[in-house]
A = this chain, B = another copy of it.
Amino acid sequence: MVKEKGKNIYDIASEAGVSIATVSRVLRGETSVLPETRRKVEDVIAKRGYRPSAIARGLTQKHTNSLGIVLPKLTNPNYAMIFTGAYDEATREGYVMSLFPWKSMDLKTGYDPMEVLAERRLDGLIMCVEYQKKESYDHLTASLENLSRYMPLVLIGCVPSELDYPTITYDMSLCASGVMEYLLEMNHTRIALLGGMKEDMGVMSRDAGYRAALEKAKLPYISSYRVYGDSTTRAGEQMLTEMLDGLQRAYWPTAVIALNDLVALGALKAAREMGLRVPEDISIIGCDDLFCAPYSEPPLTSINMHQQELGARAVRRLLRPDDKTRELAAWNIVKRQSSAPTEIV
């Protein structure tokens, strides 16, 4: 921050020949200022390019006009969408939205980013609770509790129901069984599920939906069909290749549900390289409906999670709390050419 002469409210006041209180009133657009006084002050402000310090203002007022959002990372465009939705809504409401990637949590910088967040004195914080392992759960609860004493919180993502904060969540279990039903209706009986870490709470809930659907359809749970791993394109490619390599052709799945579109893109490539036609030999379904999903070959069937809308809703929730605690976010399957009925038995 560059300090320069002629840069604070005192300088403006003295140059305009008024008190700092009057400058402050002009700055905040109060109506109780004589037009000519206002003009005088505004002239000086413009001439000096003066901008009041949000820091000082934040100290006297009870709010800072800034919100925050914590997201796992930005390398998955999915999160960029959430941010964009939240940012736009915040701007519309007159707030500045700052982004805090979760990942900083892992850096051994010697401090807990949650504590840094508390220091910022935001007017509200949206936390995307994803990629959370059960082990780190206690730490999370403690952090949230302390944070909530400094600012209102809204949780989004696959939020465990024990967390008692205003929440907009997905029922990933329902979502997984929904996709399963879609595939079952198309006669698929060998359906694989690709990606995600076993200990991740959101992943666990998907697994539950997957297994429930199998059970309902009286199909066995075959552990070779459930491969865990990173949620990246590279991992998707590897996971499918290894799965197929490890199975007799008769047992190859006729459909693959990928944890997200990145994994699905990788799987698409792996399938092609194994000489499989999509969707004739194998259907592949992603999740998040990224911008590139319609542009893969074949175009990827995916799940639209309405992430931008989710971000916007979270902001509204933060600003206008209501009585509901847990709200469910919408999702829907976007059917494209990577999935089709199977004729393989």
Contacts and interface: CB of A to CB of B under 8 A. Distances in A.
* A: contact size bracket: 35 or more
Interface string A48-62: 010111111111001
Interface in A50-104: 51-59, 62-64, 73-75, 77, 80-81, 83-84, 87, 91-92, 94, 96, 98-101, 104
Contacts of A329: none
Given A1-B122, A53-B121, A291-B233, A109 B87 contact: no
Contact of A51 (B73, B81, B118, B122): B118
Nearest to A236: B295
Interface in A274-323: 290-292, 294-297
A96 B116 contact: yes
A36 interface: no
Contacts of A297: 272, 296-297
A268 interface: yes
B64 A73 contact: no
Contacts of A43: none
A2 B149 contact: yes
Contacts of A56: 59
Contacts of A109: 91-92, 94
Contact of A295 (B52, B146, B152, B268): B268
A119 interface: yes
A3 interface: yes
A180 interface: no
Contacts of A52: 119
A309 to B, nearest CB: 15
Given A55-B55, A84-B74, A64 B1 contact: yes
